[in-house]
């Protein structure tokens, strides 16, 4: 399935925040988790995740820390902040509203 | 990640890294982060059975095109964008070749000279032997700022509509600078210029600079980084202007020396042409240089900020310590309030330019503590001065100068009190530096609005004194 680019971009923030809400993580692992969750439907260009993460960091929704990884290289780990959780909750409400609306009209279309 | 045993693969990674490094919107740590990602990906792919070459191709393809990537990085980090202008009119800037731009700039400089010299045709001469008519001071900003706005509108490809909209503030400025009937009072039988006229001369440029700012940022005023870029631009322009002025001084000195040697007096040329045209043209040339040379010279304003923040902090602390030690009260002279206004303005400037160059994501460091000390000590010094002035305000009475100075003091004080609070939160890890940056940026229009108020409302209120 070819997903619309704007849709992918719009869902990036809540998705990243939700994944980080599960636990601290780093770029590559987040990409893998997205692929896993979406069953491969959401294909991100890997590099594009990082500007999203950096923007979230700047807005204070996530905090980042460089620490050593299991393979000896430095790796940047991201953690969701309190503001990030609030933001996630707000976005969740919005997506729920969108989802509910679409569901409503599609259910009607089915029953008619 | 341990290095790959596959030597060609390591070489390919090194090459990819070198390409990425060349993108100046992507900084060192970002390259490291992206390389880490690439290597993780490569491990997974080679473990799945791909050869080094195949894995590299797939991993690089998944990473995405470097152009798109660096554009996204520039969007997320607009403070880097300013230096590189990666996003300059969305990549289709080829139409504006540098030679066209040079011509446009030269044309605008010429227009500025004409604007400065034109009033002479209408009976307001600019001659080195007589005092300069106050007309020139009142309208100083109107000679060049509209032209500067035109330059930016042209450079950013803004539509005619936004240009017409921007003409409004300049037209209003021209009206308010020239319609009021200023009174020249006789103080001790010496003609003394109107105070409110001097206030207009000082405040009109500040108000109109905001209009230039709108032209500069185009429609990105409320977007991330738009206004901060304008702040950076203003700082760099001020530095370039001073440099050009120094050069102009050298030219003037040589003009006098050489023509003096052949017994000619170049006064009429220097005073009537070189100085006024140079002063006006330098604003446009300086802006052009800032726009063109952004990536060549490191930004100077933040460097100066780094130098002078410690110096001012030491100065303020020494002043406070001396005052406490000797117990001598602040001597309230006529000009003292304006002096303290300038002090607060300098401190706000230091905070603003420190913020403009700072990576908002970096953790608090010693310099931030220093900034907080600077802000708090400036607040204390100003508080002491204000208390002393308030005690004697009834004695002084309200003159236009004093009301303007008090208003400015209040505006700067509010800014610094909140800045200090945000700095405190940031140092305690309770807030982000972005909050502070946002506050400073959001506050910018307040200065212009106040300046406009002084220009428009003060003269009638104080009877054009």
Whether B117 shows a pLDDT value over 50: the answer reads yes
What is the Cα B200 distance to its own chain's centre?
21
CB B300 within 8 A of CB B239: yes
Mean per-residue pLDDT over chain B, rounded = 82
What separation in angstroms does the CA of B82 have from each of B79, B305, B452? 5, 18, 29
Whether B297 shows a pLDDT value over 60: the answer reads no
Whether B376 shows a pLDDT value over 90: the answer reads yes
Mean pLDDT of B307-331: 86
Token pair of B442 as six digits: 């959001």
Whether A72 shows a pLDDT value over 80: the answer reads no
Contact A46 B37 (CB under 8 A): yes
Q: Per residue in B46-60, pLDDT tens? A: 888 888 888 898 888
Token pair of B100 as six digits: 């066209």
pLDDT of residue B91: 40
Contact B434 A64 (CB under 8 A): no
Mean pLDDT of B23-35: 82
Model confidence at B331, pLDDT cuts 50, 70, 90, reads: low
From A54, A55, A74, residue closest to B32, measured CB to CB: A74
Model confidence at B129, pLDDT cuts 50, 70, 90, reads: low
Task: Identify residues of B whose CB sits under 8 angstroms from chain A CBs.
Answer: 1-2, 29-30, 32-34, 36-37, 39-41, 62-64, 68-69, 72-73, 75-77, 360-361, 431-432, 434-435
Counts of helices then strands in chain A (DSSP H, E): 4, 3
Contact B69 A47 (CB under 8 A): yes
Model confidence at A111, pLDDT cuts 50, 70, 90, reads: low
Token pair of B36 as six digits: 């880490």
Whether B229 shows a pLDDT value over 90: the answer reads no
Q: Per residue in B203-213, pLDDT tens? A: 999 999 998 99
Pick the more confident residue, B44 or A44.
B44
Contact B73 A54 (CB under 8 A): yes
From A28, A55, A75, residue closest to B41, measured CB to CB: A28
- CA quadruple B288, B291, B292, B296: dihedral sign: positive
Scanning the structure block, which residue is given the tokens 């604007």? B115
From B69, B77, B435, residue closest to A54, measured CB to CB: B77
Chosen for mutation from A9, A12, A35, A46 (greatest number of chain B CBs closer than 10 Å) is: A46
Q: Which residues of B touch A13 (CB under 8 A)?
A: none
Whether B268 shows a pLDDT value over 70: the answer reads yes
- What percent of chain A has a predicted confidence (pLDDT) above 90? 40
Whether B333 shows a pLDDT value over 70: the answer reads no
Mean pLDDT of A34-38: 87
Q: Which residues of B touch A75 (CB under 8 A)?
A: 33, 36
- CA quadruple A84, A89, A95, A97: dihedral sign: negative
Mean pLDDT of B274-281: 89
Mean pLDDT of B231-237: 87
Whether B227 shows a pLDDT value over 60: the answer reads yes
- Please state, in angstroms and rounded to a whole number, the distance separating the CA atoms of residues B372 and A48: 36
Chain B interface includes A54 (CB < 8 A):
yes
Q: Per residue in B76-112, pLDDT tens? A: 776 665 544 434 444 444 445 677 888 888 999 999 9
Mean pLDDT of B150-165: 81
- Please state, in angstroms and rounded to a whole number, the distance separating the CA atoms of residues A79 and A70: 18
pLDDT of residue B154: 86
Q: Which residues of B touch A72 (CB under 8 A)?
A: 1-2
Chosen for mutation from A13, A34, A44, A50 (greatest number of chain B CBs closer than 10 Å) is: A50
């Amino acid at each position: 399935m070819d997903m619309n680019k704007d849709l992918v971009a719009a869902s990036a923030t809540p998705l990243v925040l939700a994944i980080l809400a599960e636990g601290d993580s780093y770029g590559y692992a987040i990409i893998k988790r997205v692929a896993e969750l979406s069953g491969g439907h959401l294909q991100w260009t890997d590099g594009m995740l990082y500007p999203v993460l950096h923007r979230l960091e700047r807005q204070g929704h996530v905090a980042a820390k460089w620490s050593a990884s299991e393979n000896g290289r430095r790796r940047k780990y991201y953690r969701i902040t309190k503001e990030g959780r609030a933001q996630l909750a707000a976005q969740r409400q919005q997506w729920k509203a969108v989802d509910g609306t679409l569901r409503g009209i599609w259910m009607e279309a089915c029953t008619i | 990640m341990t290095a790959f045993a596959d030597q060609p693969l390591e070489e390919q990674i090194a090459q990819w890294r070198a390409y990425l490094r060349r993108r100046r919107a992507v900084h060192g740590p970002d390259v490291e982060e992206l390389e880490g990602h690439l290597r993780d990906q490569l491990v997974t792919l080679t473990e799945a059975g791909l050869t080094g070459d195949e894995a590299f191709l797939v991993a690089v393809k998944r990473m995405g095109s470097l152009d798109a990537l660096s554009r996204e990085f520039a969007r997320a980090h607009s403070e880097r964008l300013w230096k590189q202008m990666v996003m300059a009119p969305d990549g289709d800037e080829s139409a504006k070749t540098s030679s066209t731009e040079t011509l446009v700039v030269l044309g605008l400089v010429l227009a500025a000279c004409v604007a400065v010299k034109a009033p002479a045709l209408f009976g307001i001469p600019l001659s080195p032997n007589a005092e300069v008519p106050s007309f020139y001071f009142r309208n100083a900003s109107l000679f060049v700022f509209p032209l500067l706005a035109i330059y930016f509108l042209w450079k950013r490809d803004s539509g005619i509509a936004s240009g017409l909209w921007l003409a409004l503030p300049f037209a209003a400025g021209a009206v308010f600078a020239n319609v009021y009937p200023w009174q020249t009072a006789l103080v001790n039988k010496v003609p003394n210029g109107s105070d409110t006229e001097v206030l207009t001369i000082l405040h009109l440029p500040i108000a109109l600079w905001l209009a230039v700012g709108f032209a500069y940022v185009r429609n990105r005023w409320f977007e991330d980084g738009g206004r901060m870029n304008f702040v950076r631009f203003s700082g760099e322009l001020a530095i370039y202007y001073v440099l050009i002025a120094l050069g102009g001084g050298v030219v003037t000195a040589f003009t006098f020396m050489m023509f003096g040697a052949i017994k000619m007096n170049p006064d009429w040329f220097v005073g009537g042409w070189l100085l006024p045209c140079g002063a006006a043209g330098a604003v446009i040339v300086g802006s052009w240089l800032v726009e063109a040379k952004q990536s060549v010279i490191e930004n100077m304003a933040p460097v100066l900020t780094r130098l002078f923040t410690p110096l001012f902090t030491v100065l303020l602390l020494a002043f406070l310590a001396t005052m406490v030690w000797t117990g001598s009260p602040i001597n309230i002279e006529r000009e003292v309030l304006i002096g303290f206004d300038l002090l607060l303005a300098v401190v706000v400037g230091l905070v603003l330019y420190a913020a403009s160059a700072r990576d908002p994501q970096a953790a608090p460091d010693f310099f931030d503590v220093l900034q907080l000390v600077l802000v708090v000590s400036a607040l204390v010094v100003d508080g002491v001065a204000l208390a002393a002035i308030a005690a004697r305000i009834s004695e002084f009475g309200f003159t236009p100068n004093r009301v303007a100075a008090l208003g400015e003091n209040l505006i700067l004080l509010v800014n610094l009190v909140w800045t200090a609070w945000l700095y405190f939160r940031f140092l305690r890890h309770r807030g982000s530096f972005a909050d502070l940056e946002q506050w400073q940026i959001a506050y910018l229009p307040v200065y212009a609005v106040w300046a406009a108020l002084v220009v428009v409302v003060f003269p009638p209120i104080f009877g054009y004194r």
